[in-house]
Amino acid sequence: MIVVMRSGVDRDEVRAVVARLEALGFAAHLSEGKERTVIGAIGDRSVLEAASLEAMPGVERLVPIRQPFKLASREFQKESTVVNVGGVPVGGDRLVVIAGPCAVESREQVMATAAAVKAAGAHMLRGGAFKPRSSPYTFQGMEEEGLRILADARQRYGMPIVTEVMSPDAVELVAEYADCLQIGTRNMQNFQLLREAGRSRRPVLLKRGMAATIQEWLMAAEYVLSEGNRQVILCERGIRTFETATRFTLDLNAVPVAKELSHLPVIVDPSHGTGRAALVTPLARAAIAAGADGVILEVHPNPAEALSDGPQSVTPAEFERMMQDLRRVGEAVGRGLQSPAPAPVRVRVEAD
């Protein structure tokens, strides 16, 4: 941390800051320029942030030198993490495609979608049983019944399942059925939920908050990691900007930045990141070209009848064409798609 003192600061104020730093266990290096005095403070950043040093007289601002996350950082772990989701590696040499409906609406809908995406080569099945909806009056999900349907689809089609968990007390239930716990954009800073997911043995797919900086996103991952769960997949899903032509602005800059700062795998959700089916294929291709480890997509057998997010869902036929595109783009950047998902790897884990 570097402490920048105000111009014209007086000597006693500088001394007080140095004394405070030393009391906190920091080594303080003073640099007095003609115009400004700055103090380098080597030590634990979080201690300093807690210390409200910026409120001391004469202090203009603190400039952090290191990232505030540790376990999530490449400085901490050089080699990339490969997360194993029910037998499917995420973050390794080959790309992963996760597909399925936005919401679980019925057994028929899930089975039809699962059959279609499996046939087209998807590696995992997604689908929401608990749905965060901005209106209390819209469909809120099938809840446990939805989880059961997903688990049955896993067994029938041999694909691990990813599904959202929205509250700390539901983690155990969802973890019982799902291979991977999704934490949604609105919950990225639901810290109790992050901690609870960190105590689960299931991998966690952590969506970026729609107004979260990359640093805050990695701090959210740190919450999960610091509880002992090292299986975190980052997912860029679009940020909120002034542009209204699309629902969100997919931030593909975030892909190489997150991979540089962190060893965790990074996937992209072009369905939410654009909000329109016609944009999903080009942005999915772009995500792979930008270096993402995979994509997660909404596919619905009949988008016009979907109970949520129909406008951004692609049809099975579009998905099939997209898979061919993704395979070609992946190969162009040196990373093929994985082979189709293996046979069912796990049934409901009673004794877990």
Our CB check for its own copies shows the closer of 201 and 256 to be: 256
336 binds its own copies (CB under 8 A): no
Give the range of 88-96, 117-125, 302-310, 342-350 binding its own copies by CB under 8 A. Answer: 302-310
Min dist CB 213 to its own copies, Å, is: 6
The token duo for 34 is 């003609």
88 binds its own copies (CB under 8 A): no
4 binds its own copies (CB under 8 A): yes
Residues 190, 195: Cα–Cα separation, whole Å: 9
User: What is the Cα 241 distance to its own chain's centre?
Assistant: 19
Which of 115, 119, 173, 257 is close enough to bind its own copies by CB under 8 A?
257
Residues 126, 71: Cα–Cα separation, whole Å: 27
Which of 182, 229, 308, 338 is close enough to bind its own copies by CB under 8 A?
308
> What would you measure as the largest C-alpha separation in the chain, in angstroms?
75
339 binds its own copies (CB under 8 A): no
Site for its own copies in 193-212 (CB under 8 A): 193, 195, 209-211
What are the CA-CA distances from residue 6 to residues 35, 62, 181, 282 (Å)? 9, 11, 47, 50
| Residue 233 backbone zone (phi > 0: left; psi -120 to 50: alpha; other: beta) | beta
246 binds its own copies (CB under 8 A): yes
Beta bridge partners of 100: 298
Site for its own copies in 134-163 (CB under 8 A): 134-140
24 binds its own copies (CB under 8 A): no
Which of 269, 293, 309, 318 is close enough to bind its own copies by CB under 8 A?
309
CB 128 within 8 A of CB 104: yes
Which of 254, 264, 297, 299 is close enough to bind its own copies by CB under 8 A?
254
User: Which residues make Cβ contacts (< 8 Å) with residue 26, sequence separation at least 6?
Assistant: 41, 42, 43, 47, 48
Sign, CA torsion 155/338/277/236: positive
How many CB atoms neighbour CB 187 within 10 A? 23
Which of 152, 164, 179, 222 is close enough to bind its own copies by CB under 8 A?
222
232 binds its own copies (CB under 8 A): no
Which of 172, 228, 241, 348 is close enough to bind its own copies by CB under 8 A?
241
- Binding residues for its own copies, rule CB under 8 A, total 112
Our CB check for its own copies shows the closer of 159 and 170 to be: 170
Our CB check for its own copies shows the closer of 93 and 331 to be: 331
Our CB check for its own copies shows the closer of 54 and 93 to be: 54
How many CB atoms neighbour CB 254 within 10 A? 22
Min dist CB 39 to its own copies, Å, is: 10
Give the range of 1-9, 152-160, 172-180, 340-348 binding its own copies by CB under 8 A. Answer: 1-9
240 binds its own copies (CB under 8 A): yes
Residues 49, 64: Cα–Cα separation, whole Å: 9
User: Which residues make Cβ contacts (< 8 Å) with residue 305, sequence separation at least 6?
Assistant: none
